[in-house]
C-alpha cells in the first residue's frame, strides 16, 4: 500500500463572489488546480451571511462548475471564514510532567492545545484556531520545536482566533443545504498568507493586507509565526458605494468605473480625461472626470490604510517588519495602490500574486483576487490526510522488436544521424564564409556516398533475412 495526496475542495464565500477550487498537492508540494467554479455572491454582507437561500444557490453553482471541470464528485469542502466578528487573543498554558528524563512528544503539545480549547469565552463565541507561538521547557524559553527535549515544566504561548457562533453556524447551514459536508474552517487571512507569502518573508517579519469586497483582513508574521490578526469592516464595496453617490451613477456602472478606470492616487490620474457612461433610458450619457473619480477612491483608501496603520501599531510589530507590507485581494488591483500604501504605512510594499505555489505557473490565476481561494486550497491540502492507494502495478516490459523492425529502425536512425550532421556542417559553412564552394561540394559528395552505401548495406541484410 502507498499513500497519495487527496483531492480536496476549497470554498471561498466572499462578499462579491463565491469561488470553489478542486485541487491537490503534487509530489513537489505545489498545488495542481483541477477545476474552478465562480458565482456572484448576493447573500453575504461584509463577510457575514445575510441571506441563506441566495448563498446556498451561489455555493451550488460554484461547486457544480468546479466539479464538472475537474471530473470528480464533490462531497466535502473546506470553507474560509472572515468578517468583522473575528477576534484574536493571546493565552499561555503549561503542564507538569512526571519525569524530567522523558522526551517531550507530540502528545504533550496536543494536551496543551486541548487545555486551551477549554478556556472561558464570552457568550456566543467559539474558537476557530489555536496557533502555538513559542514554547518553554523549565528555564529555557523561546523554543520553536520542543519535541525531543526533556524537562518537568512544559509551557507554551498561543494565538487564539475566535468568531461568533451564530455566524459560523450559518456558514455550516449553507454548506449543508447545498448537499455538502464541511470538512473544516480556515481563517481567510491565514489562507491568503499561504498563497502569497514566502517562508523567508514570514521569518523576517511581514504584514499581509487582504482587501476583499466587504472586509480588509490583516495578518502579521514574525519569526515564522503568525503574531496578530484583525479584520476591518471596510472593503471594495464601500469604494463602489462612494463612486455611486459621488458620481451619481448606478451601482453596476460604479463598479465598472472602479475596475476599468480606478486609481488610488488622484495626482496620477489624467487631468482632462472624461468617461461617458450611458444613463437611464431616454436620458443623455453622463460624463465622469477621471480626476474626480480618483479623488473619491483615494479618500476612502486613505481611511482604510490609516486603520491598517493603527492596527499595526496595536500589534506591537510595526518596527519589526523587515519584509514590509504585502497587499492582495481584489482591491489590490487598483492602480498606484502600492505607492499609496507605502506612503501611509511607511513600509516597503508589493502586490501579492497567488502563483508561486501553483504547479505549471497557471497564468490565468495571476490575479490577487484569487489569493484567498488558492490559499484555502493550499491549507486544506496540507491538512488533509493522505489517501491510501493500492500498490501500482509494475510497468510492462518494453516489447522486443522483430529482426526486420530492428533493421528498419537502424536504417532510420542512420538517416537521421547523417541528416543532423549535414545540418551542423551547413551551419558551420554559413558561419565561416572563407570555406570555398569546391570544398563544400566535396563534403556533400562524401556524405552522399556514405548514405547510399549505408542504404545498400542495410537493404541487402533485410533481403537476406527475408
Order of strands, sheet of 225-232, starting from the edge strand that comes earlier in the sequence: 225-232, 216-222, 206-211, 325-328, 349-351
E strand residue ranges, 82-176: 87-96, 125-137, 140-143, 153-164
pLDDT tier at 241 (50, 70, 90 boundaries)? very high
The pLDDT of 34-52, averaged and rounded, is 87
**pLDDT tens digits for range 147-182:** 999 889 999 999 999 999 999 999 999 999 999 999
pLDDT tier at 326 (50, 70, 90 boundaries)? very high
Query: What's the rounded Cα separation, in Å, for the pair 370 and 330?
Result: 8
Question: Higher confidence at residue 202 or residue 83?
Answer: 202
For residue 208, give every residue at least 6 positions away whose Cβ sits within 8 Å of its Cβ, in sequence order, or none.
189, 192, 193, 196, 197, 217, 218, 219, 220, 221, 325, 326, 328, 352
Query: What's the rounded Cα separation, in Å, for the pair 63 and 39?
Result: 9
Q: Which CATH number fits domain 204-351: 2.60.120.10, 1.10.10.10, 1.10.238.10, 3.30.420.40?
A: 3.30.420.40
The per-residue pLDDT for 421 is 38
**Torsion of the alpha carbons at 353, 256, 213 and 78, rounded to the nearest 10:** -60
Query: What's the rounded Cα separation, in Å, for the pair 222 and 319?
Result: 11
Are the C-beta atoms of residues 59 and 38 closer than 8 Å to each other?
Answer: no
| Three-state DSSP state, 97 | coil
Question: Higher confidence at residue 438 or residue 190?
Answer: 190
The per-residue pLDDT for 18 is 92
The pLDDT of 188-212, averaged and rounded, is 93
| Among 357, 354, 384, residue whose Cα is nearest residue 372 | 354
φ, ψ for residue 158 (rounded to 5)? -130, 145
The per-residue pLDDT for 459 is 63
The per-residue pLDDT for 450 is 56
The per-residue pLDDT for 386 is 59
pTM: 0.76
Query: What's the rounded Cα separation, in Å, for the pair 196 and 328?
Result: 8
The pLDDT of 36-59, averaged and rounded, is 89
Are the C-beta atoms of residues 167 and 128 closer than 8 Å to each other?
Answer: no
State the alpha helices, DSSP H only, in 31-153: 52-70, 106-116
**pLDDT tens digits for range 383-415:** 876 554 444 334 334 334 344 343 344 444 444
pLDDT tier at 361 (50, 70, 90 boundaries)? low
The pLDDT of 231-246, averaged and rounded, is 91
Query: What's the rounded Cα separation, in Å, for the pair 314 and 126?
Result: 23
Element housing 282 (H / E): none
Q: For a pLDDT cut of 90, what percent of the chain falls above it?
A: 50
CA angle 115, 117, 118 (to 5 degrees): 70
**pLDDT tens digits for range 135-153:** 999 888 889 889 999 889 9
Is the pLDDT score of 6 beyond 50?
A: yes
Is the pLDDT score of 216 beyond 50?
A: yes
Element housing 293 (H / E): helix 290-315
Q: Which CATH number fits domain 87-161: 3.50.50.60, 3.30.1490.20, 3.30.1490.110, 3.20.20.150?
A: 3.30.1490.110
CA distances from 158 to 32, 119, 134, 135, 243 (A): 32, 12, 8, 9, 42
The per-residue pLDDT for 398 is 35
The pLDDT of 250-279, averaged and rounded, is 88
Element housing 172 (H / E): helix 165-177
The per-residue pLDDT for 20 is 94
Query: What's the rounded Cα separation, in Å, for the pair 223 and 186?
Result: 22
Counting runs of H as helices and runs of E as strands, what totals does the chain give? 12, 20
Cell numbers linked to 37: 467554479
Amino acid at each position: 500500500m502507498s499513500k497519495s495526496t487527496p483531492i480536496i475542495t476549497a470554498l471561498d464565500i466572499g462578499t462579491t463572489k463565491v469561488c470553489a477550487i478542486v485541487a491537490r498537492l503534487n509530489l513537489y508540494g505545489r498545488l495542481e488546480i483541477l477545476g474552478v467554479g465562480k458565482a456572484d455572491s448576493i447573500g453575504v454582507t461584509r463577510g457575514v451571511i445575510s441571506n441563506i437561500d441566495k448563498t446556498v444557490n451561489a455555493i451550488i453553482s460554484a461547486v457544480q462548475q468546479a466539479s464538472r471541470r475537474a471530473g470528480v464528485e464533490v462531497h466535502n469542502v473546506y470553507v474560509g471564514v472572515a468578517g468583522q466578528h473575528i477576534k484574536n487573543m493571546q493565552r499561555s498554558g503549561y503542564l507538569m510532567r512526571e519525569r524530567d528524563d522523558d522526551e517531550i512528544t507530540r502528545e504533550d503539545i496536543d494536551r496543551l492545545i486541548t487545555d486551551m480549547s477549554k478556556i472561558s469565552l464570552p457568550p456566543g463565541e467559539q474558537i476557530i484556531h489555536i496557533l502555538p507561538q513559542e514554547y518553554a521547557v523549565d528555564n529555557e524559553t523561546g523554543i520553536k520545536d520542543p519535541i525531543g527535549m526533556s524537562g518537568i515544566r512544559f509551557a507554551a504561548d498561543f494565538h487564539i482566533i475566535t468568531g461568533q457562533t451564530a455566524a459560523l453556524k450559518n456558514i455550516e447551514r449553507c454548506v449543508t443545504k447545498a448537499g455538502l459536508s464541511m470538512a473544516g474552517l480556515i481563517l481567510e487571512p491565514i489562507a491568503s498568507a499561504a498563497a502569497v507569502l514566502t517562508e523567508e518573508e514570514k521569518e523576517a517579519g511581514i504584514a499581509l493586507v487582504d482587501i476583499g469586497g466587504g472586509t480588509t483582513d490583516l495578518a502579521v508574521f514574525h519569526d515564522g509565526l503568525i503574531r496578530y490578526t484583525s479584520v476591518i469592516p471596510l472593503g471594495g464595496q464601500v469604494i463602489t458605494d462612494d463612486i455611486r453617490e459621488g458620481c451619481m451613477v448606478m451601482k453596476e456602472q460604479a463598479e465598472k468605473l472602479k475596475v476599468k478606470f480606478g486609481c488610488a492616487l488622484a495626482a496620477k490620474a489624467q487631468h482632462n480625461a472624461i468617461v461617458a457612461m450611458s444613463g437611464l433610458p431616454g436620458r443623455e450619457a453622463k460624463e465622469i472626470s477621471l480626476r474626480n473619480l480618483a479623488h473619491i477612491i483615494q479618500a476612502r483608501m486613505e481611511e482604510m490604510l490609516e486603520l491598517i496603520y493603527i492596527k499595526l501599531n496595536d500589534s506591537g510589530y510595526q518596527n519589526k517588519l523587515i519584509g514590509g507590507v504585502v497587499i492582495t485581494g481584489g482591491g489590490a488591483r487598483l492602480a498606484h495602490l502600492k505607492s499609496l500604501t507605502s506612503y501611509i504605512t511607511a513600509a516597503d510594499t508589493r502586490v501579492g500574486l497567488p502563483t508561486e505555489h501553483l504547479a505549471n505557473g497557471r497564468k490565468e490565476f495571476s490575479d490577487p483576487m484569487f489569493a484567498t481561494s488558492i490559499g484555502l486550497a493550499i491549507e486544506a491540502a496540507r491538512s488533509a490526510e493522505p489517501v491510501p492507494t493500492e500498490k501500482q502495478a509494475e510497468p510492462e516490459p518494453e516489447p522486443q522488436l522483430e529482426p526486420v523492425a530492428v533493421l528498419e529502425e537502424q536504417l532510420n536512425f542512420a538517416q537521421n544521424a547523417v541528416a543532423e550532421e549535414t545540418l551542423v556542417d551547413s551551419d558551420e559553412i554559413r558561419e565561416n564564409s572563407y570555406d570555398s564552394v569546391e570544398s563544400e561540394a566535396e563534403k556533400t559528395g562524401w556524405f552522399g556516398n556514405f548514405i547510399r552505401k549505408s542504404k545498400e548495406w542495410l537493404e541487402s541484410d533485410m533481403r537476406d533475412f527475408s
